[in-house]
Structure 1
Amino acid sequence: MVLCAAVCWALSGIAAQLFFQHFAAAPGILVSIRLLSAGVIMILLQSLIQGTKNAFSVWSHKKDRLTLLVFGLIGMLGVQYTFFAAIHHGNAATATLLQYLGPIFIIVYVSLQFRRMPGSRELIAFLLALTGIFFMTTSGSVDSLTITLEAFIWGILSAIAAAFYTLFPAKLLKAWGPVSVVGWSMVIGGVGLSLFHPPWFFDWSQGSLLLFALLAFIVIVGTITPFYLFLDSLRFVTPAQASILGSAEPLTAVLVTTVFLHTPMDPVQLLGSLCIIVSVLVLALRSARKDASGADKTASG
């Protein structure tokens, strides 16, 4: 389930790249359509499965309402818009890889917050990530960038947004569950973005089977399906193990964009991509060992 979710998320980025290649639209238009459509469908599904009261219960506490609004407008909207903007100015592979630097920014934040140096594994992951960025964006030459500056900036902003997205809603998720929090935050982010990029301003005269197929794929296969698969997988694996398997997302994005979309990526850039993926695995393996150690202690009493 984790692997299927990771592949679906990767293919969602590929579908977005194809959308921008074939249709005239700003990233904000696609993001508002994705957030509003996916958010409304998720809330409707929760209402049908768990009841309307359960689906709307997150709005019953004033403090949590404010937290949800902040998460929707900054966390959810931020991570979605920056990611799709990175695809728009570059391609799905580089956007996905740069967003996967999110854990590195979490390390930086935690280190500054607690005023301590990162551990050896964290430093190794940090250095691997920096090396990966250098190789992937310069192809080993300091004289030029192999991706546009806009794609690089949006990709880094996407990683920062992903770090915030991971850290900020912890208490909210524990209190109300991920389905409500993610569903409503998508609706909030979609409504907020629609004030600046209304979906109805999109030139729907471009309408074709390809257009609606890509939009349906992005919303259903690339958003709702992987979300539920990933959540349900946590009944069988730990979050750390899920993170390890989730590394299939950037790997899939790289393979599909280079093999099927013929996006050029030389051996040095591929090495950089590998460095970024390995940096994520180093951190995930560290978490997995901690989980295993905790389980052993619990089992031994």
Structure 2
Amino acid sequence: MRAVGMAAIFVAAILFGAAGAAAKVLFVSDVSPLDLTAIRSFVACAVLGPIMVLLPGRPFHVPPAARPMTVAAGVMFVVVNATFYLAIDMMNVAAAITLEYTSPFFVLVLGVLLGTRRIGLRDCAIVTLSLVGCFLLTGGGGEWVRLSAGLAIGLACGFAFAVFNMIGNACKSRGIGATALTFWNFAISSLIWVAALPFLGVHRLEPTAEMMAYIGFIAVVATILPYWLLLFGLRHVDALPATVIGLLDPLAAGLMAYVLLGETLTAANMAGIALVSLSVILVTLSERQTSRAPAKPPRSPAEGVPQLEANNG
């Protein structure tokens, strides 16, 4: 099942990348990132809901004890998607999506804050490598390193995606099925965006056949299916290796953006993607080695105060 889970996340990453490139086409057509995020949730909820009604058993059921976590997942779903599309609107599609996959570092930081691990010199070096890569991602027009709003929003997306993946991992032990969690993510997201409709420009859009086709593709093929695959995969694969597999996302997005928009990456962008990808792979390998290392036996009282070992699980 671990292999099946990894395959599911692999396909999800390719579809997420395609969604990013298709979204950029709509942004060029004056559809705002927040409008698209709301429409995506509405359409996905409207399509998935009737399908679930036909499923046997109780496909909508969430155990009462797990409902707070389900709501938290839905809120983080909104944050991930909003920051994801805002970053894509501000910079190259592949660069923006690569920033989303800085999430393993936020998993590590949260682990430190929660007391489940300690950061050493190796971790600091990897984080430094990733930060340099992030700055290079926004370089362009002769600038190799540049701070920007797109960089900040992309990193915010990475943090939100880290939390979302951690919640997805935790939902398995709470008895929440992947299909139910996928639907409730869309439903909670839709409720939030309904409340925000007066502040959005959805009602001012003039839909065309091309716009509806792109929205349908993003909402169904590149939203319902990949999110279900991701949540299914997270039931069998930890958050860190899942994110490494997700590095196929910016690769697919870059190719799609080149075909649909003629968007190319500068040497700085490509160097940044390479550094971020390398640092994510290194941190995952480090995490795997740590998790496989045998635990040290506690010291005897005669040897002094026992040393506490960091839990890097």
- State the TM-score, normalizing by the size of structure 1: 0.80
Aligned to 1:55: 59
Shift of 1:214: 0.4
Q: Does 1:10 align with 2:17?
A: yes
- 1:32-89 alpha-carbon deviations (Å, 9 max, x no partner): 11112223433433332333xx22321x51x43333223322x111111111111222
Query: Could you say what secondary structure the match of 2:197 adopts?
Result: coil
Instruction: Decide whether aligned partners of structure 1 residues 31 and 255 sit closer, same or farther in structure 2, where only a CA change above 3 A counts.
Output: same
Shift of 1:122: 3.5
Shift of 1:19: 0.6
Aligned to 2:223: 223
The answer to whether the 8 A contact 2:135-2:151 is kept is no
Instruction: Decide whether aligned partners of structure 1 residues 200 and 257 sit closer, same or farther in structure 2, where only a CA change above 3 A counts.
Output: closer
> Percent identity at matched positions?
25
Shift of 1:10: 0.1
Letter in 2 for 1:136: L
Aligned to 2:207: 207
- 1:127-178 alpha-carbon deviations (Å, 9 max, x no partner): 2211201222235987973x8x332222121112112212245443432122
Q: Does 1:167 align with 2:174?
A: no
* Alignment gaps of 5+ in structure 1: 295-301
Q: Max radius of gyration: which structure?
A: 2
The answer to whether the 8 A contact 2:182-2:228 is kept is no
Instruction: Decide whether aligned partners of structure 1 residues 255 and 200 sit closer, same or farther in structure 2, where only a CA change above 3 A counts.
Output: closer
Greater shift in the superposed pair: 284-293 or 167-176: 284-293
* Alignment gaps of 5+ in structure 2: 1-6, 295-313
Instruction: Decide whether aligned partners of structure 1 residues 248 and 171 sit closer, same or farther in structure 2, where only a CA change above 3 A counts.
Output: closer
**Counterparts in 2 of 1:1-301, with a 5 A limit?**
1=7, 2-22=9-29, 24-51=30-57, 54-58=58-62, 61=64, 63-73=65-75, 75-114=76-115, 117-119=118-120, 122-138=123-139, 145=146, 149-168=148-167, 170-174=169-173, 175-197=175-197, 201-204=202-205, 206-230=206-230, 238-239=237-238, 242-258=242-258, 261-286=261-286
- 1:244-300 alpha-carbon deviations (Å, 9 max, x no partner): 433211222233334652324221221111111122222334455678889xxxxxx
User: In 1, Cα distance between the equivalents of 2:144 and 2:220?
Assistant: 42
User: In 2, Cα distance between the equivalents of 1:46 and 1:290?
Assistant: 41
The answer to whether the 8 A contact 1:244-1:281 is kept is yes
Instruction: Decide whether aligned partners of structure 1 residues 254 and 200 sit closer, same or farther in structure 2, where only a CA change above 3 A counts.
Output: closer
User: In 2, Cα distance between the equivalents of 1:129 and 1:169?
Assistant: 24
User: In 1, Cα distance between the equivalents of 2:69 and 2:144?
Assistant: 44
The answer to whether the 8 A contact 1:102-1:162 is kept is yes
Instruction: Decide whether aligned partners of structure 1 residues 207 and 142 sit closer, same or farther in structure 2, where only a CA change above 3 A counts.
Output: closer
Alpha-carbon RMSD across the aligned residues, in angstroms, is 3.2
Shift of 1:14: 0.5
The answer to whether the 8 A contact 1:122-1:283 is kept is yes
User: In 1, Cα distance between the equivalents of 2:84 and 2:224?
Assistant: 17
Letter in 2 for 1:165: F
